């Protein structure tokens, strides 16, 4: 999911790691919750302070009070991102769950706290029919074992089947964002419609520290595991092996043509809310849309320039935007819509017009590339956002905090495409 891109970048681009990032971040969190904003400002690295930092923290504190008393502060996750450690504390308030994220440098300085929606209890939407399918646990891969869930429709089969490929960041199998579980909605909604669906934990979710210590690529993080998931799904006795599809959301949709080329036997692709442009360009666009301090935008532009200048010989160069140089090198020259057109298989592209993370600019590039391609359909929905939840007005990360479900029209479109 792309919210994680913004969280990572705004947390700090150029800082070095602390030796106790979790302890440092907890100290900053306690200052925030204790309303000691002046003390917290002193912990924030000078490059990210503005004349309004303390007043902004005070306003944030006013909002935090509306959530009620703190009931629990969970165990933090710490991600080694090369020059910066990203620390996330799950905090349960009386009325909602919030993830508090900060970056920490070697001097014990932090970024301003970034609050994201935490997990909330999931309730099945109306299009999930109890008793219409069953679930079983599966494991993807061998060296990198990834737990997954296979939803199989009731009945004898064989059934058409679908693998779900995550968006950007260390996503769980449900692609949980705040009050939403997009992949669980898709899996159970489509299984209720006679389609077997496999979803799994992403490698960077299960092996965060191990992945952070390697010079990994999109092949390592996404394509290898998606290919293994497809092979596993195709081998299941209830599955029609000639009717296996793949669905990619966000960055997963961007890489889906590569997944299809690797597999060579997919019946079709479903691409949801996916960029059509280079990842670094989209990152810069999102940073500029946030109206961050000029120092951050300048650093981001320099990082994008560095990415575009990388060559194969730069494999061991320092990370950029938290990703290894090898990651960026493997993406160089990749044109997702053009790659999709060459596949010669049916493709469905869906886009929410309220999506503030992947814009209609990207959707129109997919539309242009696939125009006239037999069996391919592109469709946008005026009321849907990046995670295909219906709403009104401008979408934002605040919207993701609310418990909500993938819109039924998106479920219908995917089911129709697979069934045709």
Residue 298 lies in a domain: no
CA distance 206 to 332: 27
Q: Match 């995550």 to its residue by tokens.
A: 166
274 touches 364 (CB < 8 A): no
Say whether pLDDT at 123 is over 70: yes
CA distance 199 to 147: 9
Same structural domain for residues 267 and 211? yes
Residue 102's nearest CA partner among 54, 171, 45 is 45
Same structural domain for residues 38 and 68? yes
CB neighbour list of residue 265: distance below 8 Å, 6 or more residues apart:
234, 242, 244
Taking the C-alpha atoms of 170, 9, 113 and 359 in order, what is their torsion angle to the nearest 10 degrees?
A: -80
Same structural domain for residues 169 and 29? no
Alpha helices in 264-347 (DSSP H): 279-289, 294-309, 325-331, 336-341
3-state secondary structure of 364: helix
* Of 117, 143, 175, the domain-final residue: 117
Say whether pLDDT at 156 is over 90: no
Residue-range definition of the domain harbouring residue 146: 133-278+334-419
For 365-391, the pLDDT digits (tens) are: 999 999 988 899 999 999 999 999 999
* CATH number of the domain where residue 51 is located: 3.10.450.590
List b or e across 274-287, with b for residues whose CB sees 16 or more CB atoms inside 10 angstroms.
Answer: bbbbbbbebbbebb
CA distance 197 to 245: 9
Question: Strand (E) positions, 157-257?
Answer: 159-165, 176-177, 180-181, 196-200, 239-249
CB neighbour list of residue 344: distance below 8 Å, 6 or more residues apart:
none
Residue 296 lies in a domain: no
- Look at residue 160 in the predicted model and tell me its pLDDT: 98
CA distance 149 to 173: 8
Same structural domain for residues 237 and 90? no
Strand partners, 177: 180
- Look at residue 213 in the predicted model and tell me its pLDDT: 82
- Give me the chain's average pLDDT, please: 89
- Look at residue 339 in the predicted model and tell me its pLDDT: 97
Same structural domain for residues 92 and 152? no
Stronger pLDDT, 8 or 192, i.e. the higher one: 192
- Look at residue 304 in the predicted model and tell me its pLDDT: 94
Q: Match 């990203």 to its residue by tokens.
A: 86
Same structural domain for residues 394 and 247? yes
**What is the sign of the dihedral through the CA atoms of 181, 186, 191 and 193?**
positive
Residue 411 lies in a domain: yes
What's the Cα-to-Cα distance from 355 to each of 9, 19, 37, 217, 384, rounded to whole Å?
19, 38, 33, 27, 7
Same structural domain for residues 106 and 198? no
Residue 248's nearest CA partner among 166, 169, 187 is 166
**Number of structural domains in the chain:** 2
CA distance 286 to 348: 25
CA distance 102 to 23: 12
Same structural domain for residues 81 and 139? no
Same structural domain for residues 168 and 113? no
For 55-106, the pLDDT digits (tens) are: 889 999 999 999 999 999 988 888 765 566 888 899 989 888 888 988 888 7
389 touches 407 (CB < 8 A): yes
68 touches 95 (CB < 8 A): yes
* CATH number of the domain where residue 170 is located: 3.40.50.1820
CA distance 338 to 333: 11
For 296-318, the pLDDT digits (tens) are: 888 889 999 999 999 999 888 88
Same structural domain for residues 103 and 159? no
Same structural domain for residues 99 and 180? no
Say whether pLDDT at 260 is over 90: yes
């Amino acid at each position: 999911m792309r919210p994680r891109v913004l969280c990572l970048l705004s947390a700090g681009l150029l800082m070095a790691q602390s030796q106790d990032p979790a302890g440092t971040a907890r100290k900053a969190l306690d200052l925030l919750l204790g309303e000691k904003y002046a003390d917290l400002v002193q912990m924030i690295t000078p490059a990210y302070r503005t004349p309004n930092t303390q007043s902004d923290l005070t306003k944030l504190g006013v909002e935090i009070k509306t959530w009620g008393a703190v009931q629990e502060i969970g165990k933090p996750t710490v991600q080694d991102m090369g020059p910066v450690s990203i620390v996330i504390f799950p905090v349960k308030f009386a009325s909602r769950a919030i993830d508090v994220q900060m970056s920490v440098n070697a001097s014990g300085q932090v970024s301003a706290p970034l609050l994201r929606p935490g997990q909330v209890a999931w309730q099945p939407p109306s299009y999930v029919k109890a008793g219409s399918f069953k679930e079983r646990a599966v494991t993807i891969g061998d060296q990198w074992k990834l737990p997954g869930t296979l939803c199989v429709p009731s009945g004898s089969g064989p059934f058409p089947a679908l693998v779900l490929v995550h968006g950007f960041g260390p996503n769980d199998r449900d692609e949980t964002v705040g009050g939403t579980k997009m992949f669980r909605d898709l899996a159970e909604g489509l299984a209720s419609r006679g389609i077997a669906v496999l979803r799994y934990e992403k490698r960077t979710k299960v092996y965060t520290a191990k992945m952070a210590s390697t010079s990994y690529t999109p092949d390592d993080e996404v394509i290898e595991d998606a290919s293994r998931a497809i092979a596993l799904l195709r081998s299941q006795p209830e599955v029609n092996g000639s009717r296996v599809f793949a669905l990619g959301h966000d960055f997963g949709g961007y890489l889906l043509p590569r997944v299809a080329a690797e597999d060579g036997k997919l019946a079709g692709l479903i691409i949801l809310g996916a960029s059509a442009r280079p990842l670094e360009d989209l990152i810069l666009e999102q940073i500029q849309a946030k109206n961050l301090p000029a120092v951050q935008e300048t650093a981001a532009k320099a990082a994008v320039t560095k990415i575009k200048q990388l060559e194969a010989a730069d494999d061991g160069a320092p990370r950029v935007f938290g990703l290894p140089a090898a990651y960026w090198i493997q993406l160089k020259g990749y044109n997702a819509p053009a790659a999709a057109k060459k596949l010669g298989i049916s493709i469905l592209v869906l886009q929410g017009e309220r999506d503030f993370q992947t814009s209609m600019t990207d959707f129109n590039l997919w539309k242009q590339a696939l125009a006239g391609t037999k069996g391919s359909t592109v469709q946008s929905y005026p009321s849907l956002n990046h995670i295909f939840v219906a709403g009104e007005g401008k979408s934002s990360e605040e919207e993701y905090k609310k418990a909500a479900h993938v819109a039924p029209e998106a479920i219908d479109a995917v089911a129709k495409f697979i069934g045709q």
